[in-house]
A and B are shown apart, each in its own frame.
Chain A
Amino acid sequence: MGDDYSSVWSYRLKWLYTLLVVFTLMLPVFYVIYVSFNQNGFGAAEYVFTFEWYGEIFSDLLLLGALGNTFILAGITLAVAVPMGLIAAKFYKATEAKLLTVSLLLSPLFVPADILGSALLVFFKNLNIACATIGEWLGVSWFDTWFELGYFSALVGLIIYTLPYIFVVILITMGRYNEQQTEAARSCGATAWQAFVQVEFPQIRAGVFSACAFAVILTFNEYTRTSLLKGGYDTITSVLISQMLNEGMSEQSYAMSSLISFIAIALIGSIILYTLVQSERLEREARAKAEPVMSG
């Protein structure tokens, strides 16, 4: 059997193939970015570089409002889903019913967006009717609008969507943490909270940060669930898709798609770089402590 250690070229080819797959997956996005800088738009014979289309996005008031809504949703999802994922990961480590917990938390990954969105939409509409009926019955009206489609329902959809990713990312980082450190801290007199904040959290911080990045990016990009559940207001993806469907791919759609992709790629890129640099530094420090004379 041919071995890669004997043939460096086979190793290089496999690397090339891996990068080629990533490149192919990204190619449509790169092409959209390329077209977005063309004065003449898609399909033109002549390519003239311009920022013109980007200028036009920022003068679009509808879009700026949608951007605001998107950031509100992303902010609240982050603030709710990440602590929830952290709690869920802690719960998973402690519980006996591991299989049930993990299936409940990970199964949203397997439920397609349109199916979950439709089910939640009907669920909220029913809750709404139930609230109104009970309210009428009791003669009170203060909880009538609790479950109306709006920020709350959209947030529920987004939290269900992001929680599995957050849970897995945090759980994987927690796997490298040694529980005995918490026990040691506790027997030295720390409270459970102190042990968590001062001993455990610094070691899983990288995981929590990447989970935050995930939550923001997934919310930022999400369309189907939000559009079914959001009620009346616009988000950035809903504006984008209505623009694309109504006017076809206009120059402005290219610019907007590129801009959204830029933001997401820049965000995740910097997070990945940060965690890599950080983990490299920690590794180096640990190695320097463990083996003062470096051995390969």
Chain B
Amino acid sequence: MGKALFLAPIVFMTLFFALPLALTVVWSVFERTMFWMEPGFTLFAYENFFFSARLENFLSSMWHSSISVVVAFIFGFPVAVFVRRRIPQVAQHRVILLFILPFMVSEIIRIFALRPVLQRTGLVNNVLLELGVITEPITVILYTPLGVIIGEVLSFLPFIVFAGFLAMEAVPKYIFEICDDLGAPRHRVFIDVILPLAAPGIFAGAVFIFVNGLGVALLPNILGGPGAVNAGLIATQAIAALDFPLAMAVSAIMMTTLLGLLYIGHRLFDLTRILSPIN
């Protein structure tokens, strides 16, 4: 009895998480009926995905997501390095806790709140006009791909800080002292020492942002212009249109993308190294 109880979370996750996601592959080849689907084998849903504007949308959302990953890394990772390197050990977690704060506000509010900030008459334009930096309101920052990228960076930046912070556990402080003593220039320290050691964590954070940029439908829905679509939005629109096989095909494609990325990452950097702090 006691032993069985300890297996409960594993059983639950297998049954309600791993199983449904694995079954998406099966359901994606089912035949679509009027309101539902029936067992069968057809690649119609995949055809529907790969030979239409959906593929183009999917690829462009991948591109936007990649830009978000790079921007989030540039802004977020230095924070992780700074905290690990300069803040006393006991206080490090407290500084990192600050980045949980935005994460505690509902996603829909954070994303919606960007509208009054970025729109034509919004905060950013008002302040810039007031300061005389611009004479015309900037309109490319909302209802455009750029708007989606801004939303992605602001939504997911804390994750690169967390992942970077975990990753920097692999870079002991004395390494910086050795580099200093040997007179290594800053960029060499970064490229030759920090990056290789912290790579697994950085990669995990990057995959997280990339996949969520592809999968969170709210972002293009609220911040994107006409035609801004990512995988999550294709899936939810398919569900709304009662095209369940298509939704499942999108899910299966997303899961394949995710697993493929994690596999590549694992082969390149051994992702289990990230877990060393909790072992």
Residues of chain A touching chain B, judged by Cβ–Cβ distance below 8 Å, are 1, 3-4, 11, 14, 17-19, 21-22, 24-29, 31-32, 35, 42-43, 84-85, 87-88, 90-91, 94, 98-99, 101-102, 104-105, 107-123, 125-126, 156, 159-160, 163, 167-168, 171-172, 175, 192, 217, 220-224, 228, 237, 240-241, 244, 249, 253, 257, 260-261, 264-265, 267-269, 272, 276, 283
Contacts and interface: CB of A to CB of B under 8 A. Distances in A.
Interface in B232-260: 232-233, 235-236, 238-239, 244, 247-248, 250-251, 254-255, 258
A177 to B, nearest CB: 13
B255 A29 contact: no
A87 B121 contact: no
12 contacts: A14-B86, A25-B157, A32-B113, A84-B9, A84-B12, A85-B9, A108-B17, A116-B21, A118-B250, A224-B217, A224-B218, A244-B112
Contact of A114 (B90, B110, B121, B233): B233
A108 to B, nearest CB: 6
Interface stretch (B46-54, B129-137, B177-185): B177-185
A160 B17 contact: yes
Nearest to A276: B94
B275 to A, nearest CB: 6
A90 B40 CA distance: 43
B76 A21 contact: yes
A268 B6 contact: no
A164 B264 CA distance: 23
B255 A249 contact: no
A4 B81 CA distance: 13
Interface of B: 2, 5-10, 12-14, 16-21, 23-24, 27, 36, 75-76, 78-79, 82-83, 86, 90, 94-95, 97-102, 104-110, 112-117, 121, 123, 154, 157-158, 179-180, 183-186, 189, 207-208, 211-212, 214-218, 231-233, 235-236, 238-239, 244, 247-248, 250-251, 254-255, 258, 262, 272, 275, 277-279
Given A22-B101, A114-B216, A272-B97, A221 B247 contact: no
A88 B9 contact: yes
B126 to A, nearest CB: 9
B129 to A, nearest CB: 13
Contact of A11 (B86, B157, B275): B86
A85 B21 CA distance: 21
Contact of B102 (A29, A110, A241, A257): A29
Given A87-B5, A91-B6, A171 B104 contact: no
Given A14-B86, A168-B278, A217-B104, 5 more contacts: A88-B10, A111-B215, A112-B211, A120-B20, A221-B104
Contacts, number: 239
B231 A257 contact: no
A277 B214 CA distance: 40
Nearest to A93: B279
A160 B13 contact: yes
Contacts of B254: 112, 115
A84 B8 contact: yes
B26 to A, nearest CB: 10
B179 to A, nearest CB: 8
A240 B211 contact: no
A31 B116 contact: yes
A184 to B, nearest CB: 21
Dominant SS among interface residues on chain A: helix
Contacts of A163: 9, 13
Given A29-B105, A272-B97, A24 B154 contact: yes
A269 B94 CA distance: 12
Nearest to A264: B104
Given A118-B248, A122-B247, A160 B101 contact: no
Given A21-B157, A42-B116, A31 B244 contact: no
B149 to A, nearest CB: 15
A51 B217 CA distance: 33
A192 B2 CA distance: 10
Given A1-B180, A115-B235, A125-B36, A28 B113 contact: yes
- CB-CB nearest 10 A-B residue pairs: A112-B215, A114-B232, A221-B106, A28-B113, A123-B20, A88-B9, A25-B102, A257-B109, A119-B20, A32-B113
B185 A1 contact: yes
